[in-house]
Structure 1
């Protein structure tokens, strides 16, 4: 028996044909939600988890349906819409956008599981709220027609509102090779340990998940390697090109967009601050100082540079999908990592030039700085690893262990 979903029934009456929400419409809804996310960000930090009001508003706006196939009542939109929606939400709050982006992307993962499980899961709902833990930290042992799963996973973003959980685990094959798999199980079957005491991205509620001796049918498992290459079951089951897209670029984009949204918002706040702030030493507005004007102009260009790097990678992913070479995928990964680093430095620059006021707990700038500093520590954005992996590929060498992040 599947667990109850948070889905809000928005089904049309039998006599009224449904009109699917378009990409621009969904992006506009996200832009209108950004102020709500910003308003609730301080309280989400205090509670160390997303707020019910924010999750409910995202549900009402159909955000979580973005990548779900139309046959299940989803919107079946592509990465271009995901980009616009994710960045718009992130201008309100990085932590809320992080959770929202991954809820969207994890529905895509669930649509890569075997067809029998998909049809069961989406029989009475059009989306699921499910954290997924990428690191295969668990151990899966074959048992009959399924697996016996045990393990502990960190970074379960959004677990507080999760209906399902998608942990990664290793199965040791008969020849001793590790086989990384995704599993899906109801949130009621896992133990959540409140470990989320951090300096940034506090509002994501990314606590630990523990699974102890749970049996999972084989149809609730799927190969990570197949998804990584864009050849999961969903690629054969669903017609849309989205379902033939490699997993890691989608995951990386979901993680990177909160940085871009907060960089945009921080530059805007810095610009507003310049017109208000009066410098003690001159009694003039800071906006009148050439240094401040130059700083603002540089930050505006740098955040645009980061956006162009992300957009270029996103558009190339859409053009190549599962036909991409390892060089393409290494370049995408590097572009996203560079873009996140640029966003981090843009926010740092805005804070440095905004004076001590930027570091008041009431200032969104200090939260942006902490959030994006924490976000940039994700393994996906390790610049040394990204440059090394891309450099090896450019030289015709095997990227080695770094291949798992491409």
Structure 2
């Protein structure tokens, strides 16, 4: 064997030895972690209250050592996510899974009803860490009976515990299996109260939790009622970024509420309620604009005479016209339908043909630039005229079809 071959053989053997050492080291770390998990589980099941509190805190510390961390000041931000673990956080996901399998969830849930506030806080933080990005743990926590004590904590005046409970409800409601249980628990009215009286983070969590619950198909009754409208409107007005995820969830809830007469009245009676929706149509994301125009359309469809002038007064036309070009397919259709309703009255002021042409031209300029503005404006106006003609013809055909021979002979 030559010298080069000997050196290559030595290099390979060294690499294999290094790989073996790494595997051995990883095996030792995993065994230590498993031993720690079993020790924590034993403390939670068999220990006294102080031991249980320390074990709950150990769970939080153990999960925080991985790439995905949850600290006392930022535990909420990660609790929103239900996305699968990335490679950088796979270790923490495995740790959560092992902790859940070790039987720590049931004793943590029992700690939620402890008269000791430290025990409640420690268990809340531990459960939040276990639930993040772990659907099975989310389901286990709810199955273990966590929702009733969490709902009780939502009634607390203690801001810290109430916010942690709100974050926990939010996290657990991200799992579809949990939504019916949480929706039936009475949590929603308490979350609505937090919309008005909670901290900024608490209100954001409450909106997201309510949005999660609103998507539950098993609900046989509305999650929220018109009492949620004023705080939602205020939050939407305070939201500087109408294209944010928060604005999307707030407008989605407002659209749901706009389908009831009480919700419609609450939106129109709220200071700046319709204006907030109009501004969202103008500046929102594709999702929030679709919800905002849906809410405005619900109002106008319910009573055109009552709401049309209010919507026009807030300057809705430019945003709606732009939405017919730039929105989602659903938003475009909603915007066109609402425009038809807004201009359906011949004597309506402020929407003459010259004013309409100028608005359309301005929108076309922003969309396609000055060079193509005239062509785009012409196309938009032709489309609006065509839709108006089709709408009129449809009404004529409907009236003709409803006429019976006796109606004709007697007329």
Q: Is TM-score (shorter-chain normalized) higher than 0.5?
A: no
TM-score grouping bracket, smaller chain normalisation? under 0.3
Larger-gyration structure (1/2): 2
More relative contact order, 1 or 2 (CA 8 Å, 6+ apart): 1
Higher helix share: 2
Higher strand share: 1
